[in-house]
Amino acid sequence: MKITNGKDLQAVRVKSGVTQREVAEYLGYSVNGKPNSSMIARFENDHAKINPRVAMLLEHYFTDQIAS
């Protein structure tokens, strides 16, 4: 699975039943020690570009989610 843009991310996240908060926690996006889903929303709405490192982490995360 290839995640290259926000719509790809949103589609696989919803299909996997994962929240933006859970993705934020996995990626280490936090504010005051709590997962912050705002960056995930920015990715999904194409307000921020998903860089290759983040894309690789997301692909790994969702591959594991689908397998379990």
DSSP string, 25-62: HHHT-EETTEE-THHHHHHHTTSS---HHHHHHHHHHH
Range 30-53 average pLDDT: 96
Range 16-36 average pLDDT: 95
The pLDDT value recorded for residue 52 is 96
Mean pLDDT of the chain: 94
CATH topology of domain 6-67: 434 Repressor (Amino-terminal Domain) (1.10.260)
**Is pLDDT of 68 > 70?**
no
**Is pLDDT of 51 > 90?**
yes
Instruction: Count CB atoms within 10 A of the CB of residue 63.
Output: 12
pLDDT band at 65 (very low <50, low <70, confident <90, very high): confident
Q: Which amino acid is at 2?
A: K
